[in-house]
Structure formats: C-alpha cells, structure tokens
Structure 1
Amino acid sequence: MKVILRPSHERGNADHGWLKTFHTFSFAMYQTAQHESFGCLRVINEDRVETGTGFGTHGHREFEIFSYLVDGELEHQDSMGNLEVLKRGDLQMTSAGTGIRHSEKCHGPNQVHFLQIWSVPSTRGLPPKYFTRHFSDDAKKENWVRVVAPADDEGVVEAREASGPAPVHSPLSLYATILAPGALRTHIFSTQASAGVGRKGYIHVIQKSGYNPASASGATVKISGKDGEKELREGDGAYLLVESGEELKVENVSDREAEVLLFDLE
C-alpha cells in the first residue's frame, strides 16, 4: 500500500463569510493539476454554510453528487420535485444524468456542516434520480457502515428511500465510521477491479472541531498497512494505492472522537 498524504492546510480553501469551504480536488477558483480527480472520484468539498444562506438554484449534468451531513440542517430542492431538509446522519445522492437543477441552503438557526462529494458515472446519459439514506451514530460506532455503493452490487436498492447504501453508477463504495479514543477498525479492500485498473482508496478525517485553514488539529488517527504507518488529523486525507484484498487498519490515537470516511474505488 502506497500512502500519499493530503494535508488539510494544503487543500484549497476559502472564507466567503456565508460559506467556509475546503476543496480536496480542483474546484471553482481553486485549480491544481496535482489534484484533479482520483479514479472516478472528482470532488470532496467540506463546507460550512451560515444560516439563511446557501447555494442558489444551479444546474449539473453527468455527475453523481452526494451530501454527507455532519452537523446542522441542509435544505435541498431540485427540478425533479424533491424538497427535503437533511440532518445529522443523513446522506442525499443526486444522479444528475442528462441534467438537473437544484439549490442547497442552510435550514434552521445554526450553521450547517456537510461534505459534498462527486463521482463520475461509468455510463453517460442516465436519467436523473434522487436518493436519501439515514445512518445513525450508533451504527457507525460499531463498524464501517457502507453509505454509498455501486448500483449493481448485491443488496443495493435503487429506491428513493431504503435501508442500506445509496446507489451510484461508478465503481465506488464509501464507508463511514466514528472512532472512540483507542478504537481500531480494519478494512479489506475489494478484490473487484477492471483489467489494468486496480484498486484505490481515499481516506478523510472530518474536521469536526471547527473551520481551521491552518495546520490540522483535533482528533488524530493512525493508518497502517503492510508498508508502514501514517498519522492523520482532522481535515487531513490520504490517497491509498492498494492491492486487491489488502488490509487497512485505522486507529484513533487521540483523546477525542474521530469521524472518518473511506473510499474503496477503481
């Protein structure tokens, strides 16, 4: 396993007053040839939006866009007729396909903190669809919870609301966990891969302690595989170049809770 660190303070970031945001990959005014995408993963934005503000109605095509709610409430409205307020533990996925328009706004009296993630579908011209899922903190404290998975995987349901992961039309699974101090989780990467492509991983420690564009602070996790160990703090991430079936260990080595996202993808 080769680990390439993506420190939090090296991400693109901006404080617009109403929006405080980080960009793992090139996005908006932040453009870098080193971090354009990773496999089918195109966007990881960690956003904080102030109450009474948000992203006005705008369009998307040919991306699958999911929002992972960390804190606060997010109002989603789109051209498919969906109007929903998302809260802690909710995950919303929009398959934009041939084209949709939507808006996302902070709902309620407090700032909303969420991650907006985009993947590139393997097939173009899909019909637009909308999905929501809910995953409790208690479930995440027990293990890795798969919150997004390929639509053709066994047990994945293409229904607007259902149990289990939200479906995507790309070779990507997203797992979430909440690690108490001292807790350890292991993950075995999928053995499925297209010829000549191989598996990849990306890990991100959610910045729960507050917006911080300087060097990362907060909870610290140690990741380890057969080639050694690395430490990540809140906001930090890492690219993982892995072999099919390889094991990753993630341990909380700090004195506070850590919430971690892990992508297993081609």
Structure 2
Amino acid sequence: MIDIRRGQERGSADLEWLKSYHTFSFGQYYDPRHMSFGPLRVINEDFIQPGQGFGTHSHKNMEIITYVLEGALEHKDSLGNGSIVKPGDVQRMTAGTGIQHSEYNPSLSEPVHLLQIWIVPDAEGLEPGYEQVHLSIDQQRNHLHLLGSRNSQQGVVTIHQKVDLYGAQLSQQGSVVHPLSAHRIAWLHVAKGVIQLNEKHDLMAGDAAAISDLHEIKVHGQSEDAEILLFDMVA
C-alpha cells in the first residue's frame, strides 16, 4: 500500500526569520491524521533567514537528525560540540536524558534550507550523544546510500531505533530500487526535484509516501535532478 502525503497539505509556520513546513503534527499545527509514521515523529522543512536561528533550547528522549539541502547551519550544544552542517553532511543528536543546543544560519546574505527529522528511540534515558558524517554527491548518485542505522559503522550515523535511513541523488531518468522486508514499513520524502514511485505515483519536492505491505520500492527520476530520503523502519 502506498499513501501519498502532498507537500501543500503539510502544516506550516511563517515568521519573519523562519518559514517551516510540518509533515507531522508539530508546535501549533495539530492534525490527528498525521501524528507520526512508525517511529518517525517529525520531518520539518525549514528555511532560515541570514543571521537568524533557534536559540538555546532543550530536548529529551529523541533522535534528532539534521540534513541541510542548501546553505549552512551552525550547531552548538551542551556537550561542547560546535560544527557547521552543510549539504552532504548528516548530523545525529541523541537527546536522551537531556541536551541543550542552538542552531543558527551563520551567513549574512544566504538563507539555509534544511530538513530536521525526529525519530522516537527504542529506549528512554539514553546517554546524550552527537555524530556528524559527510558524504559526496557521487556516493549518492543514482544509488541509495546508507546515511543512518542502528548498527554502528564507519561513515554512517547511529540511530537508536530499528531504522535505516538512505539518501539518493537521482539524475534525470536515473533510478533506484529498494527491497522492503516483511514486517517493515517505509517513508519516502522528496527533498528536491520530481520522481515517480513504483511506476505509478508522480511526486515533487515536499511530497512524501507512506509505504507498507510491499516487497519492493522503485524510484525513477523524471525531467530534472532529484534528491530523496528513504526511511526503512520496523512496523
């Protein structure tokens, strides 16, 4: 089964310094039909204006993944980490028992466009932690490259949940195929461009699909380059 979630149907927040689109209920946006999917709790698409950002705030018991599409994001946290997250980077923060952090756009001229993703961990009270890895575009060109997983491995952020997160950069007419095991579900998010899912559903940037009870996922590029994230999760 494939259930399409169109980008224009998402919740939104529009402030002077931030424009944000919420795939699932978040903040003042509440829709009981769209609370989460499996352990996937939040996908927020944020556009942060130059020199602006989120001041220091707290999180607990959540896996938080930041994926920058354009621009750069400056991160600081109570563990002493400080970094700049750019396209090609995947950042994972385990909030666990509690962590404070801030996120700012360090540019004085360019906005930053990013996805912030929250995944409910498989246990509460984890030790707070932080990881950041970088991948080249070539690693994801017409290939579903593993970005995050429960199993620690080099070049992949650790997610404390039964979730495998993949990313792919699709050229025009490029394609990827992903087998979906029994008792697993998937969420496909289109970050850029236009794709076709399983030779039937046309999706554009901001659109997503909840996938279950299928044994294979096929994604084809269309008339322009595209970028996708695929979450393969425990049901």
Q: For structure 1, which segment, 135-144 or 18-27, has the greater mean C-alpha deviation from structure 2 after superposition?
A: 135-144
The one-letter code matched in structure 1 to 2:194 is T
Counterpart of 2:195?
A: 221
- Within-5 A mapping of 1:202-241: 202-206=187-191, 208=192, 219-224=193-198, 229-241=200-212
Counterpart of 1:73?
A: 72
Counterpart of 2:136?
A: 136
- Within-5 A mapping of 1:78-227: 78-108=77-107, 109-150=109-150, 153=151, 156-157=152-153, 163-190=154-181, 198-206=183-191, 208=192, 219-224=193-198
The structure 1 segments of at least 4 consecutive aligned residues displaced by more than 3 Å after TM superposition are none
Counterpart of 1:213?
A: none
**Contact 2:142–2:174 under 8 Å retained in 1:** no
**Contact 2:7–2:208 under 8 Å retained in 1:** yes
Counterpart of 2:53?
A: 54
Alignment of 1:31 with 2:22, yes or no, is: no
Count of residue pairs the alignment pairs up: 233
**Contact 1:21–1:46 under 8 Å retained in 2:** yes
Distance 2:97 2:103 in 1: 20
1:107 aligned counterpart, secondary structure: coil
Identity between Structure 1 and Structure 2 (%): 41
The one-letter code matched in structure 2 to 1:83 is G
Distance 2:226 2:142 in 1: 13
**Contact 1:46–1:114 under 8 Å retained in 2:** yes
Distance 1:199 1:176 in 2: 18
Counterpart of 1:250?
A: 219
Distance 1:182 1:142 in 2: 9
Distance 1:119 1:107 in 2: 26
1:232 aligned counterpart, secondary structure: strand
**Contact 2:142–2:176 under 8 Å retained in 1:** no
The one-letter code matched in structure 2 to 1:204 is H
The one-letter code matched in structure 2 to 1:250 is V
1:32 aligned counterpart, secondary structure: coil
What is the CA-CA distance between 1:142 and the residue it aligns to? 4.1
Q: Deviations over 1:61-107 (max 9, x none)?
A: 00010101111110000000011111111111100000000000101
2:33 aligned counterpart, secondary structure: helix
TM-score, length-scaled by structure 2: 0.96
From 226, 230, 233, give the equivalent of 1:262: 230
Counterpart of 1:211?
A: none
The one-letter code matched in structure 2 to 1:123 is A
